[in-house]
Amino acid sequence: ALSISFKPRLLFKLATMFAAARVFRTSSQLGARALSTTAVTHDMKVAVLGGAGGIGQPLSMLLKVSHPPAQASEVAVYDIAHAKGVAADLSHIDTNSACNGFVGEEELGAALSGAKIVVIPAGVPRKPGMSRDDLFNTNASIVKGLAEACAVHCPDACIAIISNPVNSTVAIAAEALKKAGVYNPRKLFGVTTLDVVRARTFVASNKGLDPQSVSVPVIGGHAGGTILPLLSRVDPSVSFSDEDRDALTDRIQNGGTEVVQAKAGAGSATLSMAWAGAQFCFSLMRALNGETGIVECTMVESDVTDCTYFATPVELGVNGVEKNLGLGDLNEYEQNKLTTEVVPELQKSIEKGISWAQSN
């Protein structure tokens, strides 16, 4: 009996311990202010739209097992089907976060009402041979509709977009919020955390390090060549041969395709994306609770390049984006990739999203 009750509690404590340690490490290594803590609010409803899907289910579970200083008071699981069953299952987990399920358009308002954070992993996943852009038509409509609902039912919430292609769906969500008159650039995020998670994992493997001790900024977008890991700024400081640099950059950029091919039609990168999405939510919860020095790489409205939306290290605060920390120092290799590959490709995807949103 002891082992049965002990193991889930150990997993819960380890997951949140790693999350807390990672937030402290990332914040300090990226040069943000020293951490300070204020009283934690217990009013931290998080809505997961697409919560019965391949990303939504494990993401909802990780949020259900969250605890102070990054605890969801309620996890609202929403989907077009099966969300109530997922929520019923999660509600049996012995943690102090409520979990409720909502199904269909008629219950979307209740799922969103009172939410401080809305995470959107809804949409169709990639299959072998598909690019993220192949998902555009279906997922564009889904994200637009959900953003419109957020504008009505939780206009002040922080909205985190996971649905691909993120390079376009962030712009689509922004346009929907603008049309509703509630767009706040400090509270709309494209979740690019998985690129950072992969960068830490692959760099650590290459150098024989613990990935939890490694920091790697990743800037740009969230698809192929728009993803730019800044390997010149790995902390702890390491060096790479040109061959290793190229191989690591390529693997980080195409990590999603690696998983899609390995699953052979059975899905995309759902579990690692759920982990990365939860880490971003934990950081956002801590910042909304008043903790300072919380830094995440995330796609936000930006003027650091010619792209309207661009991922850089961003300091989070009680109002969402506190400060965009910009590009930082780039070496010649990174600067060349930024200019010739990242910005041109990302601009096209953003413009495609804006154009679609304005005509639909």
> Would you please indicate which residues are annotated as catalytic (active-site) residues?
222
CA 235/CA 200 separation, integer angstroms: 10
Q: Nearest 5°: phi and psi at 183?
A: -65, 130
242 Cβ partners below 8 Å, 6+ apart?
none
Q: Which amino acid is at 95?
A: T
Rg (CA), the chain: 19
Burial 1-27 (b: 16+ CB within 10 A, else e): eeeeeeeeeeebeebbeebbebbeebb
In the numeric block, which tokens belong to residue 175?
């346009």
CA 143/CA 49 separation, integer angstroms: 10
Measured CA to CA in angstroms, residue 43 lies from 15, 177, 215, 313, 327 at distances of 22, 24, 31, 27, 34
User: 338, 311 in Cβ contact below 8 A?
Assistant: no
Nearest CA to 293 out of 29, 14, 41 is that of 29
